[in-house]
Amino acid sequence: MSWSKLKQQLESFLSPALVGKVDYRATSYRYSPDKSGSCYLTVDQKNILNMGDTTTPIRWYQSDQEIKNDPNIVISVSDEEIEAIRNETKGNVPEDRLQVMARSRKVSVLAKELLLAQTALSKTNFTAAATTFLSTSIEDNLESKEILFNILALVDRRVGKKRILNMSESINMKHPAVQYFYEIRRRTV
């Protein structure tokens, strides 16, 4: 599918509040067929989603330690997770430490997932991913571990106000790029 047709389809699904605010852009190299160019998303005509651009307001993690030490990541720990650690340690660990251990385990898993998703995004062919997005249900795109699918779904008009507001807790476990676009969408709802 050509870029202009793909862009037209993506823009047709854009939330009405974001029309003119969010834009899909692409560059290509005319005389270099082995270079596919780059695609990126802009918000208010500022390049936002392009990992190669250091001026974007989105934080890109370099290591899992950065994720573990990021104060913006809020992780809730359930009673079942604490109980599982209590059973593993046979009750020999103080109660306050169980919470710390459960959070630490959950952050480690999250760090691996975020770095994997971030690496996948840097290698993603935007046009192929956008084509896949258009042929996949909006629910699957929102629940996907792929950053790009999450972002495209968040700016989609098929995601309503109620769903956006109900996602506030689960969005804290997503990459900062997804959080950034969630905030933009939440403010326009």
What pLDDT is attached to residue 150?
93
Q: DSSP secondary structure string, 144-181?
A: -S-HHHHHHHHTBTTS-HHHHHHTTTGGGGS-HHHHHH
The pTM assigned to this predicted structure is: 0.74
Q: Is residue 109 part of a domain?
A: no
Domain count, the chain: 1
Q: Is residue 175 part of a domain?
A: yes
- Summarised one tens digit per residue, pLDDT across range 42-90 is 899 888 877 555 556 677 778 888 888 888 777 888 889 888 888 888 8
- Summarised one tens digit per residue, pLDDT across range 95-141 is 888 888 888 888 888 888 888 777 766 556 777 888 899 999 999 99
Q: Is residue 146 part of a domain?
A: yes
What pLDDT is attached to residue 31?
62
Q: Is residue 178 part of a domain?
A: yes
**Residue 166 vs residue 57, higher pLDDT:** 166
Whole domain around residue 31: which residue ranges? 3-64+114-188
Q: Is residue 18 part of a domain?
A: yes
Q: Is residue 92 part of a domain?
A: no
